[in-house]
């Protein structure tokens, strides 16, 4: 008597051989590319899926080079078909009054606004998308979307939240994430934040 497992495997392989060629499980899509929208480099990307199923991809848009410092924006693209196609990128995060320069940066940059380290979290309870970012590695802001990333609330400066840490750690550099945060079972949203003294050279992420 033949082993039943061997018979099962033979039947399974025969059945698979009769099926038409399978479609690839994964499809590649270039969401942000060099030169898109006149941007020199896209770096520090993140991606989330909203409660409604919309895919939101976001990234730093480094306008003039690859450096962590410079004129940097945050761009967002939306996909409503699971990432097969994408709507054009649009700038989000700090579109109002500019915050240029930084007293701790030693050279250049007096008229640059460095919007950096974007982090998005989808609140699975409310469906809102919470979005945090920093400017010039010195101030932290938060905003929210309640319409699947189509529009965003006015940014709120939340830097004061981290001031109590100065008693233990006299930080001069602050940055969120980068990339993502999480929502724990209780519903609380958690975002990683890193702080640095900024004593080695410019007030920079490598400090």
3-state secondary structure the chain: CCCHHHHHHHHHHHHHHHCCCCCCCCCCCCCCCCCHHHCCEEEEEEEEECCCCCEEEEEEEECCCCCCCCCEEEEEEEECCCCCCCCCCEEECCCCCCCCCCCCCCCCCCCCCEEEEEEEEECCCCCCEEEEEEECCCEEEEEEECCCCCCCCCCEECHHHHHHHHHCCCCCEEEECCEECEECCCCCEECCEEEECCCCCCCCCCC
CATH architecture of the region 27-196: 6 Propeller (2.120)
pTM above 0.85, yes or no: no
Q: How does pLDDT run across 41-88, given as a tens digit for each residue?
A: 999 999 999 999 999 999 999 998 888 888 999 999 999 999 999 999
Q: How does pLDDT run across 95-135, given as a tens digit for each residue?
A: 888 888 765 555 666 778 899 999 999 999 999 999 999 99
């Amino acid at each position: 008597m033949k082993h039943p497992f061997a018979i099962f495997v033979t039947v399974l392989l025969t059945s698979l051989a009769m099926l038409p060629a399978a479609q690839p499980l994964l499809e590649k899509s270039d969401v942000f590319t060099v030169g898109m929208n006149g941007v020199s480099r896209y770096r520090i990307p993140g991606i989330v899926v909203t409660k409604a199923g919309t895919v939101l991809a976001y990234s730093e848009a480094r306008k003039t080079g690859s450096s962590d410092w410079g004129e940097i924006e945050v761009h967002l693209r939306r996909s409503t078909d699971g990432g097969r196609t994408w709507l054009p990128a649009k700038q989000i995060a700090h579109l109002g009054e500019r915050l240029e320069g930084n007293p701790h940066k030693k050279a250049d940059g007096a008229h640059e606004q460095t919007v950096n380290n974007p982090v998005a979290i989808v609140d699975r309870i409310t469906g809102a998308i919470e979005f945090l970012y920093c400017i010039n590695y010195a101030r932290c802001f938060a905003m929210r979307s309640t319409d699947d990333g189509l529009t965003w609330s006015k940014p709120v400066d939340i830097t004061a939240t981290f001031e109590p840490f100065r008693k233990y750690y006299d930080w001069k550099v602050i940055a969120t994430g980068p990339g993502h945060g999480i929502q724990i079972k209780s519903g609380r949203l958690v975002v990683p934040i890193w702080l640095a003294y900024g004593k080695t050279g410019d007030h920079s992420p490598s400090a």
